[in-house]
Amino acid sequence: MRLTRSQTFARAALIGLLPAVVVAALLMYIAWQHNPQGEFHESGRIHWGDWLLLGFVYALPVWLIGATVAAVVLRGRSRGH
């Protein structure tokens, strides 16, 4: 089955999203537990901006790499190689 470019991109983006979410969640959990100098939470207050930015910063490169690898694999499979 031959995929169009948009189908390949959509599938690759979804495939790359899974490891990105896992890595971001793991590192956000570690940051929450470590919490140096109350950067992410203190006295019952959550600093959402800092905490979510940390997750995004780690998720983006993992997603880009995962989506790129998935796109290469999907393009190769759709060409019959």
Q: What is the 3-state secondary structure (H, E, C) of 12-49?
A: HHHHHHHHHHHHHHHHHHHHHHHCHHHCCEECCEECHH
Whether the CB-CB separation of 12 and 74 falls below 8 Å is answered with yes
Task: pLDDT band for 80, please (50, 70, 90 cuts).
Answer: low
Least Cα distance to 69 among 21, 18, 24 occurs for: 18
Domain boundary assignment for the chain: 5-78
Using DSSP, state whether 69 is helix, strand or coil: helix
pLDDT (tens digit, 9 = 90+) per residue, 2-50? 778 888 899 999 999 999 999 999 999 999 999 989 999 999 999 999 9
pLDDT digits (tens, 9 = 90+) for 59-69: 999 999 999 99
The whole-model pTM stands at 0.82
